[in-house]
Amino acid sequence: MRYRLFIALVASASAALGADDAPASYDYIVVGSGPGGGPLACDLARAGYSTLLIEAGSDQGDNPTYADLGNFNEAANDETTRWDFWVKHSDDPERELKFEHTTWDTGDGTFYVGQNPPPGAKHLGIQYPRAAVLGGCAMHNAGVCSMPADEDWDLIVNKTGDTSWSAANMRRYFKKMEKNDYLPSGNVDHGYTGWLSTSRTDASWAANDSLSQTKIMKKLAQLTGQDSTKIADLANRDILAAPKNVDEEVSFYNMVQHADKFGKRSSPNNYVRATLADPKKYPLTLQLNTLVTRVLFANATGAGSLPKAIGVEVMQGASMYKADPKHVAGTKGPVSQILAKREVIVSGGAFNSPQILKLSGIGPAAELAKFNIPLVKDLPGVGEQLGDNYEGSLMGLGQAPEDGGLMTLLFRTPSAPSKKRNIFTWCGVFSFEGFWPGFPTDYGPNEFACAMVHMAPKSQAGSVTLLSADPQDVPDINFRFFENHGEQDLKELVEGGNILREAWQAAGAPVLPFNELHPCPGTQGATRGVNCTDAAQAEHYKLQAYSHHATSTCAIGGDNDKLAVLDSKFRVRGVTGLRVVDASAFPVVPGAFPSCPTMMLSTKAAEDIIADAKNLKL
């Protein structure tokens, strides 16, 4: 098959610069080092393929802010790596201004957070921080590792007919990457020789019936149909176990994190650094502080042939992207090209992967035409179907500090549409109310919260759309929360909050009464006050819900799905030599926390790509 260059660059550049200055070339180019791209690049290199891993940020693997998991709040706030995406939750400007932590640019280098900005302040929106760093957002998250529901995997089987996506098979990828640090070896649900350490904390406190949090836990057990006399055992259950019908099991668990037993973060950063340092000298090259501006294509000239991805164009330099708080207006780095002999794999995440595809000519034709971007393939689903978990919290102040530890509960609310659990909650002495510059608010030693993640949200009406053809610009991101079936999702959140609030009343002296901060301000006892109606709570969650698990903007789908961007092997439809491997590939939000599921997806992608490579001789 013959190709001519869609963007004339390679032949002319080689001739002009001489052979020694021709664009560098690798078997594979992976764009982005987070949970999708980082492990994939390592696996490809370890299979013997020359692989270039490109990361827009720096390597902070030795920085305690990132290396010590307990510093995750500081990591997410750190301008060293932070990219600020200012998102919307709806198309209603008035509703957007009702978000209590909406953020403004004061013009003097500082932010104002709130609803009464100083004169002249520019409205930015709702902060959605991402990490531009080796290891991606797995370097600034809280490290929670949990599994999606089996049907989240099986959905891909149903959409594509590819049985390799079955939940049973996907467990194999988790076991391959896991290095379990908390259970004796031999457990059939776990792996012990992988690159990703998993650990959990001591839950022995739950055996002490005198603690206020144990009392709350016992009440929660009664309210959710568990045996309250077995709290100590329930608190130490393995949340990553896979018994039959696990997705319908209402239970307490011991939360697992991707960290080692000493509290050191385990992430793709560790895997990349270990691969680079390995004495076997795997053919992995890491290029930091490099912004990919587009994918390069050769235009097929043979009948029935497709455009082929042949490399990427990059802009070199730190802080080139305007989401970076350190970006200096007008700064542009040198632009060059890098070639891929086999494939380009985009792993920029749910915001940047669709942006890169669109800048490269792949996306909705009308949107690309608006910015005079030459069309390579009209794919209307690129940037669409943006989804996320709804998150909210019950936040209060006791009369004295709570005593105990972190409790984790997965449960089902009364109106949940199926037998599946729909709320993942964790309760303890912390404050978490979403994201804004400088979060969280420290309410002092008497603070107590139960944070909720609503699983299987029923609306995926969000979008990531271009604001210009400039690759340094940040796209427009609108989640359109509660756009579809919103009343049902809000009802489930309210029911979850009501169950938690009722359990709080079991804390006893000296903690009671709680002064609830939200969603029902004031002292709420066993009988809720007039400011705590279900309608008032639903309105609170509608306006104040937050999120940080964006997915599905380059979704896998079947041949008959007009919004499908990828096939079941991560290949971008309508072109060759191009795949997307990150959370944007999920058709739905995978469970409550996508970090570990995305690393599983990455491990599967490596297997698929290597199998294809063995069948294709270059």
Asked if residue 369 and residue 318 are part of one domain, the reply reads yes
Asked if residue 480 and residue 515 are part of one domain, the reply reads yes
Structure tokens at 129: 């921080």
Q: What CATH number is attached to the domain comprising 206? A: 3.30.410.40
Residue 248 lies in a domain: yes
Residue 377 lies in a domain: yes
Q: Whole domain around residue 539: which residue ranges?
A: 202-254+389-464+475-544
Q: What CATH number is attached to the domain comprising 276? A: 3.50.50.60
Asked if residue 499 and residue 406 are part of one domain, the reply reads yes
Residue 332 lies in a domain: yes
Residue 152 lies in a domain: no
Residue 189 lies in a domain: no
pLDDT at 376: 97
Q: Coil, strand, or helix at residue 152? A: helix
Q: Coil, strand, or helix at residue 38? A: helix
**Residue 48 backbone zone (phi > 0: left; psi -120 to 50: alpha; other: beta):** left
Residue 106 lies in a domain: no
- Give tens-digit pLDDT for 317-356: 999 999 999 999 999 999 999 999 999 999 999 999 999 9
Asked if residue 537 and residue 407 are part of one domain, the reply reads yes
| Bridge partner residues of 85 (DSSP) | 128
Mean pLDDT of 91-103: 98
CA–CA distance, 618 with 613 (Å, rounded to integer)? 9
Asked if residue 345 and residue 306 are part of one domain, the reply reads yes
Residue 446 lies in a domain: yes
| Total domains present in the chain | 2
Asked if residue 574 and residue 490 are part of one domain, the reply reads no
For the entire predicted model, the pTM comes to 0.95
Whether the predicted pLDDT of 16 surpasses 90: no
Asked if residue 378 and residue 270 are part of one domain, the reply reads yes
Asked if residue 405 and residue 373 are part of one domain, the reply reads no
Asked if residue 314 and residue 359 are part of one domain, the reply reads yes
Residues 6+ apart with CB under 8 A from 524: 501, 513, 514, 516, 532
Binding-site members for FAD are 133, 141-144, 292
Asked if residue 442 and residue 489 are part of one domain, the reply reads yes
Asked if residue 315 and residue 398 are part of one domain, the reply reads no
Mean pLDDT of 193-203: 97
Please report which confidence band the pLDDT of residue 177 belongs to, taking 50, 70 and 90 as the band edges: very high
Residue 325 lies in a domain: yes
In the chain, % of residues over pLDDT 70: 94
Asked if residue 226 and residue 246 are part of one domain, the reply reads yes
Please report which confidence band the pLDDT of residue 8 belongs to, taking 50, 70 and 90 as the band edges: very low
Residue with tokens 């003097």: 108
Residue with tokens 């680079």: 276
Binding-site members are 133, 141-144, 292
- Give tens-digit pLDDT for 255-313: 999 999 999 999 999 999 999 999 999 999 999 999 999 999 997 555 568 999 999 99
